[in-house]
Structure formats: C-alpha cells, structure tokens
Amino acid sequence: MNNKNIPLFSFWGVVQILLALGALGVLAAKMIWGLGAVTNLSDNWPWGLWVAFDVGIYIASAAGGFVLAALVYIFKIETFRPLVKPAILIAALGYTIGALGIAVDLGRSPLIVHPLWMWQPSSIMFEVAWCVMMYLTVLYLEFSPNVFARFGLHRAETVQHALAVPLVTFGILLSFLHQSSLGALFLITPEQQPLWHLPLMGYLFVISAMSLGLSVLTIFTIVTAKSWKLTLRLDVLSKVMAIAGWILVVYLGLRIWDTAQSGHFSAFKFDTYGLLYIAEVGLGMIVPVILIAMKKVRESRAGLLWASSLIFFGMLLNRINTLVLSHAVYREGSYFPTVWEFIFTLGLIAGAIYAFRLAAKYLPLFADNKAGLPETVAKSNPVVVPA
C-alpha cells in the first residue's frame, strides 16, 4: 500500500525532518555535556518548557485515543469508526515522544529504567511510570492490526481482533490512573499560585485531557484531509467536537466549583497571573464551548478548526501555568527556555508528525475513512461529507 497523495519530501515534510534532526542534535549534546549545556533549568527552576510539554501536553494530547477506542470497541458506536485508527496512532506517538522527552529531561537519563525493578509503591511518579510504560505497550498492540494488514499477517490480525476489547478496557483503566495521578501530584506542591492549586486536580487533569485529545484529533483530521486529499468526515467530526464541548463544560463547572469551594478565587487579581487565568479559562475554554454550541460553527470545517485550536491553546496554557508559571511566586530569579529547549520541543513534535505521515502513506491508516457511508456516496469520493 502506497498512498500517492502523501508526499514524504514536500516542503512541510522536509521541515519536519530537519526539526527532528535538530532534536536529535540537542539530545546528543545533552547526553554528552548535561542539562546545563542546553537548558536554563536549575535546582531553583527544575521544571521548564520540556516537562510542561513532556508531562503536560504530549500525554494529555493522546487522550483522544482511549476516548475513541472506548466509543467504538466498548460502547459499539460505529459512527466513530472512521477516526479510531488515526486516534490510536496519535495517542501512541504522543506517549512515545512524551516518554523520550521525560528521559532527556532527567538529569541522569539512563536511570529512567529504575522503576522497573526499584519499586516505590507509595510514590505517585512510580505509579505514573508503570502506567505510561504499560499503556504505551497497549497502544502499539491496539495499532498493530494496521501493520499485520500491511504485511498480510492475517492470523496475527485475527488474534489481535479477539483481544481488542480487553486491550481497550485495560488501556482506559491505565489512562484514568496516570492522567489523574499527574494532576494529583500537585497536591504536594502548596508553594504555587492558588488559582492552579486545587483539591480536585487529579480529576481536572483527566477530564481536561479528554477534551484536549479530541481537539488534537480534530485538528489532525482537518489538516491531513486538506493536505492529502482525503474525504473529510465532517459528519463524524461535528459529533467528536460536540463530545469535547460537553466534556469541557463538565471540566469548567468542576474547576469553578472547586476554586470557589477552596476559597482560591480570593487570589485572583488583575496582574500577570490574572491575565493568564483569563486567557486560559476565557479564551481557551469558555469561548470554544460557545462556538461548539452554535450549530453553524459545529457543522463547518473552519468553525471546528477554530474551536479545536482554541481548546488546544487553553489546555496548553493550563499545563504551562500549572507545571511551571504558577510556581514562579516562590522561585528566586527567573527562567526562560534556551533556543535549544525550543528546538528539542519542536523537533519531537515534528518527528511525531512525520512518523504519522509515514504510517498514513504505507499502512491502511485511513482504510475506514468512508465507513458508514452509503456505497454510492463512498464511490463518488466526496471531498467533504457534510455534518
């Protein structure tokens, strides 16, 4: 299988390759000369741009995988079948670059394997480490039928199909465990701006990740359909973003209630943190909920792209605020990422996107793209299937 509409060395393909090579260069420099040579991190500022993306963004962006898998394999809602394969691959790539980024972000990277045999059951990060390792394995097992189909391994495909529901169920359990644990980690960091230090952080992290994951899937789907001349399933995406909108409503309600209940709204002032909070909650959460609630927006490509991009912006800012900026109140001096931190971050993302490109070209990643359409409509190969 070779999708001729997917070029490997287009302008953006070459840019992705160069950025990925840049990330490899930073990785080599870090391994040779240490963190100090490539970052502005210090004992006073131990978490910066890298951990905000590695722990906060890449892992959360992958949540669309378990949501779509649950809808299709557990709840048997075949409407979402066209998007489940891309969703699982996005999740697998998100966890892959997240794990790689965390390894590089550690002062002594080779020691990342210690949780395998040095057990600390009372540690949240020990639980996160094991869940991430197991869920990454589950994701590639869930995605494996694409590889089996490509190489004609039909017996292996049949075995995997029989195990699909247990795999998806186990994956959902693992996702809820470590996504919530990452948020609960901040319950032990009281030296933090109160607007981002809430008793229900564990629940808030996993709920927000679900909305973010569906938004990332929507952005990927719209961009790839346009770039690679694929049929855009607006009929499915409109439902995906409706779910993302309702999840965001639940998240906002719980977060506002939790902030009020804990008395942390008293920390709000019209200063830098206040403006960050307004940008995050207002522009990145309330505005897209309003947009998604509008039928005309929800059923248009541009509207869905705007709504999903705003959710991505809001959750990106939320993770940066929670993991890094909200701690500045209690830090000495200041921190700003080096150019190498930016190159490594962009390079990891670019490498994951290029891996997605390779999979789309050589594997049946979009084999179900027209699933559920009448045969006459599928054969006509429409550019867009209206919502």
The pLDDT-based confidence of 1 (bands split at 50, 70, 90) is: low
Taking the CA atoms of the chain, what radius of gyration do you get in angstroms?
Answer: 21
pLDDT of residue 362: 95
Exposed, middle or buried: residue 179 (CB in 10 Å: 0-12, 13-18, 19+)?
Answer: buried
pLDDT of residue 44: 87
The pLDDT-based confidence of 275 (bands split at 50, 70, 90) is: very high
Residue 302 has pLDDT above 90, yes or no: yes
In which residue are the tokens 């940008």 written?
A: 279
pLDDT of residue 123: 87
For the stretch 151-202, pLDDT in tens is 999 999 999 999 999 999 999 999 999 999 999 988 888 889 999 999 999 9
Percent with pLDDT over 70 in the chain = 99
pLDDT of residue 3: 79
What pTM does this model have? 0.95
- Please give the Cα distance from 366 to 321 (Å, whole number): 36
Average pLDDT, the chain: 94
pLDDT of residue 108: 85
Query: Per-domain residue ranges for the chain?
Result: 11-365
Residue 34 has pLDDT above 80, yes or no: yes
Mean pLDDT, rounded, for 114-139: 91
For the stretch 38-53, pLDDT in tens is 999 988 888 899 999 9
Residue 17 has pLDDT above 80, yes or no: yes
pLDDT of residue 190: 82
DSSP assignment of 65-119, as one string? HHHHHIIIIIS--GGGHHHHHHHHHHHHHHHHHHHHHHHHHSTTGGGGGGGGTS-
Mean pLDDT, rounded, for 280-301: 96
For the stretch 190-224, pLDDT in tens is 889 999 999 999 999 999 999 999 999 999 999 99
Amino acid residing at 238: S
CATH fold, domain 11-365, is Formate dehydrogenase/DMSO reductase fold (1.20.1630)
Residue 378 has pLDDT above 90, yes or no: no
Q: Are 380 and 231 in contact (CB under 8 A)?
A: no
Residue 293 has pLDDT above 80, yes or no: yes
Residue 122 has pLDDT above 90, yes or no: no
Name every residue whose Cβ is closer than 8 Å to that of residue 317 and which is 6 or more positions away in sequence. Answer: 276, 279, 280, 284
Residue 276 has pLDDT above 70, yes or no: yes
Beta strands in 14-143 (DSSP E): none
pLDDT of residue 238: 97
In which residue are the tokens 């049929």 written?
A: 231
Q: Which helix (H) or strand (E) holds 232?
A: strand 232-233
Distances (CA, A) of 334 to 46, 196, 240, 319, 324: 12, 19, 40, 19, 11
User: Phi-psi category of 279—alpha, beta or left, where left has phi over 0 and alpha has psi -120 to 50?
Assistant: alpha
For the stretch 348-371, pLDDT in tens is 999 999 999 999 999 999 999 999
Exposed, middle or buried: residue 26 (CB in 10 Å: 0-12, 13-18, 19+)?
Answer: buried
Mean pLDDT, rounded, for 246-261: 97
